[in-house]
Amino acid sequence: MPGYRQLSRNRDFTVLWIGDTVSELGSALSMFVLPLIAYALSGSALTAALVEAAYLGGLCATLLPAGVLADRVDRRRIMLVSSATGCASYSSLAIAGAVGHLTLPHLVGVALVAGIATGAFNPAQMSAIRSVVATEDLPTALSQNQARQHVASLLGGPLGGALYAVTRWLPFAVDALTFAVACVTVSQVRTDLGAPRQRREPLRRQLTEGFGFMWARPFFRTLMAWGALANLVTNAIFFVVVLRMVADGVPPAQIGLVSTAAGVGGILGAAMAPSLIHRLPTGRLTVMIGWMCCLPLVPLTVSSSVWTACASTFFLLLLNPVGNAGISSYRMAVTPDHLQGRVGSTSQFVSMSVMPLAPLLGGYLLEHQGGTTAITVLVAASALLAVLLTASRSIRSVPRPSEWVVEDAPVEAPVAA
């Protein structure tokens, strides 16, 4: 079974992973601090939610056209432009903070631009991974990607809280620097990241072809519905948990412990992921993830303490990387090379399409129903979604990776020495 040691010899994947990890850490700092600053300036949970909603809205609105770009334009160029845009955007916030002119419109505007840059970057980055990693290494590579995200979660909250305690604008300055590092690392990739040559098609067909590919396959069709609703519910719960602690006067450093717990769980899960993905049928693993998005959250309905939130997020994230890496590996393995960008962006777009509503839903429930009722309603909704996965034969029937039927597999790119 392919492992981390074998993948570590792939220079181009390692270079991409390091740059993306640094950039993701910077983004975690900023996204932790942005709602806190918005709440401090306005005193409103809904206003704080608006900043996060702007980021998610920009990301979702960009994903589908970005998938077309990733299949048509050099992927290195897309990643460079996106990283440079992030660097400039967060630099503007750092400068505004340094001169004492941080405003809510500026925060919302930067959040929107950052979301657009991330939406453009992600399909190109995933397509680039497919170019530099062989099929048998995909579960390990995507598990490392999951680890990267959870490293950022582990360090982002505490570090963001510490930098915020020094001065409000410092996290943005650090984030701008991380985007600059990402520009440097992307430029060092040796593999040709140019898009596959293919016949040009009408833009409307290009935008919908990825959706059509997934809709024709029952496994992905069911996952599209579950993923969108699960992201809405789970992120609304996280927002309620964090804002409830902010309203209760919990210090930012303690709130950051919730992100730390999530990061530890995610990193442990990412370490287990390659072994579990290869040993367990992908369908059964997916059902297990559905229930792990519900059961760990039940204690939050009766306790609002920081330690309860830490324990719940730890177990919530423990198997999440396994499911994400396994499902993504299966999707990438069965997707033709000329559709990698569009299928990847469609998957992310559908799963995140309602996420801009998550902080608004959480903020509304928190202000009008109170934290306990809000979380109880959302946890009940997550249980219904787990039942949806369990009842689906198309989900349960997908076998383990050694038994996947890979159709129209892309030609393997040479692994960089």
- Give the C-alpha distances (Å, rounded to integers) separating 143 from 3, 67, 246, 351, 376: 10, 22, 33, 19, 32
Cα distance between residue 242 and residue 215, in whole Å: 36
Instruction: Give residue 413's pLDDT.
Output: 38
Question: For residue 396, which amino acid is it?
Answer: R
Is residue 150 domain-resident? yes
Nearest residue to 53 via CA among 33, 35, 28, 32: 35
Which domain CATH number covers 34? 1.20.1250.20
pLDDT digits (tens), the chain, 417 positions: 445 666 777 888 888 888 888 888 888 888 888 888 888 888 777 788 788 888 888 888 888 888 888 888 888 899 999 999 999 999 999 999 899 888 889 999 999 999 999 888 888 888 888 778 877 777 888 888 777 777 776 777 778 888 888 888 898 999 999 999 999 988 888 888 776 665 566 666 776 777 888 888 888 888 888 888 888 888 888 888 888 887 777 787 777 788 778 778 888 888 888 888 888 888 888 899 899 988 999 998 888 788 888 999 899 888 888 888 888 888 887 787 777 778 888 887 888 777 778 877 887 887 777 778 888 899 999 999 999 889 988 888 888 877 776 654 443 333 333
Is residue 195 domain-resident? no
Total structural domains in the chain?
1
Q: Which domain holds residue 57?
A: 4-188+206-403
Is residue 340 domain-resident? yes
Instruction: Give residue 414's pLDDT.
Output: 35
Question: For residue 63, which amino acid is it?
Answer: L
Cα distance between residue 99 and residue 102, in whole Å: 8
Instruction: Give residue 49's pLDDT.
Output: 78
Question: For residue 67, which amino acid is it?
Answer: G
Nearest residue to 342 via CA among 56, 140, 68: 68
Instruction: Give residue 412's pLDDT.
Output: 39
Nearest residue to 60 via CA among 98, 16, 135, 111: 111
Is residue 413 domain-resident? no
Cα distance between residue 6 and residue 415, in whole Å: 11
Instruction: Give residue 196's pLDDT.
Output: 65
CB crowding 280-295: b at 16 or more within 10 Å, else e: bbbbebbbbbbbbbbe
Cβ-Cβ contacts under 8 Å for 384 (sequence gap 6 or more)? none
Instruction: Give residue 408's pLDDT.
Output: 44
Question: For residue 163, which amino acid is it?
Answer: L
Answer whether 120's CB lies under 8 Å from 81's CB.
yes
Is residue 251 domain-resident? yes
Note the maximum CA span of the chain: 60
Is residue 201 domain-resident? no
Instruction: Give residue 318's pLDDT.
Output: 86
Answer whether 304's CB lies under 8 Å from 372's CB.
yes
In order, the DSSP letters of 42-74 are H--HHHHHHHHHHHHHHHHHHHHHHHHHHTTS-
Instruction: Give residue 409's pLDDT.
Output: 40
Answer whether 168's CB lies under 8 Å from 36's CB.
no
Question: For residue 133, which amino acid is it?
Answer: V
Is residue 199 domain-resident? no
Is residue 245 domain-resident? yes
Cβ-Cβ contacts under 8 Å for 292 (sequence gap 6 or more)? 315, 316, 318, 319, 320, 323
In order, the DSSP letters of 271-321 are HHHHHHHHHS-HHHHHHHHHHHTTGGGGGGGT---HHHHHHHHHHHHHSHH
